[in-house]
A and B are shown apart, each in its own frame.
Chain A
Amino acid sequence: MPSVKKKAPEGWTRKDLLGLQELTRGEIELLLATARGFQEVSTRSIKKVPALRGKVVVTMFVEPSTRTRTSFELASARMSADIVDFPTSMSSLTKGESLIDTAKNIEAMGIDILIIRHGASGAPHLLAKHLKASVVNAGDGAHEHPTQGLLDIFTIREAKGRIEGLKVAIVGDISHSRVARSDIWGLRKLGAEVTVVGPSTLIPGPIEKLGVKVSHDLDAVLPEMDVINMLRIQMERQKRSLFPSLPEYSRLFGLNGERLRRAKPDLLILHPGPMNRGVEITPEVADGPQSVILRQVTNGLAVRMAVLYHVSGAHRAEGAPDA
């Protein structure tokens, strides 16, 4: 086992991970510290630890995702869990069975952790209330995507050595972004200064209540930023007339080489993926030296291993196998 857990700032007592909003700074630090310990596992030739041996993990992605699901599956595999994907597109959910019934049926087969992605905000909370198994939120509607928030923070800290005092811009459709919400909660709890940037129609009015600054002028705020997270812009928002066109979005809020020249030379660039190259980010920027976009994906594995490790209660189990 990673040695960090022995000096953990506080214990993990939660059955589920539903969001970063309800976590304390200490709990976030614990997950990040555990993830650091697990990071090393991925570099071994035999990428496996026995921490979740005998545990059953089910992924249930009611909303499509490839990267997050693969990441959770690999994380579970590296922890030696048995992992099953519940294929929702051909499941009883499409035959009118309720989410609760579906989940209870899966639970009846004896599972320990259910990882859910769902288009409805709060769907993981509903399952957490009805299941004895641990529920991990892999993204619910526009609410939260806690493991993405954790991996963003992990990646920033890895590159910058700290979170406290950093100036972080989150750019894009804040209104509909669960990544933005998880990032905001996590980064604020760890002491970063967060500015959300985007069209006025895509930034919720009361967002300042979460302790962030708001800007609609990327060029004005970019020079002072240490970190920028470019969110994916979705075409369907344009169809609803929330902004006029992708080219206009790109001109106002896209990150390109020219804009980047006005930023700090060590500006760190994140993107939660999948990218619309040429829309919110140009290829030269996405693939440039300041980009940590692929590093985020790599770190996602370690972060998810840490989450699974703690919610499973493996850290509490007597005689827990040592990595």
Chain B
Amino acid sequence: MPSLLLRGGRIIDPAHRIDRVADLLCVDGTVKRIGAKISGADEVLDVAGLVVAPGFVDMHVHLREPGKEEEETIASGSAAAIAGGFTSVAAMPNTEPAVDTQAAAEFVIQQGRRAGKANVYPIGAVTKERKGEELAEMGALVRGGAVAFSDDGAPVQNAEMMRIGLQYAKMFDRVVISHCEDRDLCGSGVMNAGVVAMTLGLSGMPRIAEDIMVHRDIALVAATGGRLHIAHLSTAGGVDLVRAAQKRGLRVTAEATPHHVALTDEAVREYDPNFKMNPPLRTATDVAAVRDGLRDGTIAAIATDHAPHAAEEKECEFVAAPFGVIGLETALPVVITELVEKKVLSLVQAVARLTAGPARILGIPKGTLKPGADADITVFDPKSAWVIDPSKFRSKSRNCPFAGWKVRGRVVHTIVSGKRMDP
């Protein structure tokens, strides 16, 4: 394999507190050396003025394969990942059928390898068919390559089932990822409960529906000693609960999505289903709290919850549209424009939440540029200005809430195991 030299970039590796201008040499698919004036590589990329970061890790994507290949496949989804600078993605198991067996997990990995783009990690279901009734074969799922467990898309509504899941997953030291939503409180809700929902005549999903589940799951962690990760944390109350749990020393982590830190429920005013997702866009108070959580590290990961849907499913009455928006190809610019440029996060913090944070939660050997590590690298220009145009996306779907946004921050090179996968 030809060696690759990235010359003169600003190397940011939050896992090892590196932030300096240097050269980086990749040999045989791994990071060989970081230093000044390295020479003698087969290929040299001049990356002066650009940021050289560990390849981004998105711990929450929906790749729709198997089952809904018209919306996304593992190949198209991992191509979208590469375009967005993500060298590793963890695929949620709410496919058809669900990833609740070893074979299903192996299929995801196999399709990822066939696509030959980003590293694709399966997340296994907590319960069989994600029905919340019987535990899935977690041991077999781990053997098949599952890096975490989740019934995402739905909560494990039964508290005893969730308790068992947390307790059992402990044996494998894998995290249980919880979609926190009390289904009874959300009822037929389609957006955040509040003044906007009231005005629009849409039924609401109250913030307490999320808070109560976060509270419940933290209590279950305290009881079991299990590892819990809260998916797409979106409420001020939830952020407070996670922060308090971490102070108590409980093994609780959390992620936030770019859309939950960039948009509020005001965006729904035109009834555009591209602003319909679960959890829903919340209020400015919640956005501020989630941003605070990202800043102080309560929320260690930025994850997209990339959820592709066919155009015909989203071009309809708001109540009839499915929940979910895509995010792989807009995460970096939204994070830079909304969080870095607005001084919520430093660039180093932003990179940390996109790399080392999620890699540590999943326990995968990614998210660092330490010599010896896989040469998964994202090179981006934090200043480059552009306009988001979903028609240019690699994803098969177009349900993007940021269409037309003027943003800064663009991926220039995505390198996986020392190989340039440039979009």
Contacts and interface: CB of A to CB of B under 8 A. Distances in A.
Nearest to B271: A122
A175 B203 CA distance: 9
Given A125-B271, A126-B271, A204 B198 contact: yes
A21 B141 CA distance: 53
Nearest to A125: B271
Contacts of A178: 201
Given A121-B318, A141-B201, A205-B198, 13 more contacts: A99-B317, A121-B200, A122-B200, A122-B202, A123-B317, A141-B202, A142-B201, A143-B200, A143-B202, A206-B194, A206-B195, A207-B198, A209-B195
A120 B199 contact: no
B385 interface: no
Contacts of A100: 315-316
B195 A140 contact: no
B42 interface: no
Contacts of B115: none
B319 interface: yes
A245 interface: no
Interface in B261-293: 270-271
Interface of B: 194-195, 198-203, 270-271, 312, 315-320
B211 to A, nearest CB: 16
A99 B271 CA distance: 14
A118 interface: yes
- What are the 5 closest A-B residue pairs judged by CB atoms, nearest first? A122-B271, A143-B201, A142-B201, A120-B317, A121-B201
Given A121-B271, A206-B195, A126 B316 contact: yes
Nearest to B187: A240
Which bracket fits the contact residues of A?
20 to 34
A99 B201 CA distance: 19
Contact of A181 (B194, B199, B317): B199
B174 to A, nearest CB: 40
A255 B265 CA distance: 37
Given A99-B316, A100-B316, A120-B320, A210 B270 contact: no
B190 to A, nearest CB: 9
B318 A120 contact: yes
Contacts of A207: 198
A276 interface: no
A144 interface: yes
B198 A118 contact: no
A101 to B, nearest CB: 9
B272 to A, nearest CB: 9
A210 B271 CA distance: 19
A98 B270 contact: no
Contacts of B202: 121-122, 141-143
Given A98-B312, A141-B202, A118 B194 contact: no
A209 B271 CA distance: 20
A98 B312 CA distance: 8
10 contacts: A98-B316, A100-B315, A118-B317, A120-B319, A120-B320, A121-B200, A141-B319, A144-B201, A181-B199, A206-B198
Nearest to A203: B198
Among A126, A143, A178, which residue has the most Cβ atoms of chain B within 10 A?
A126
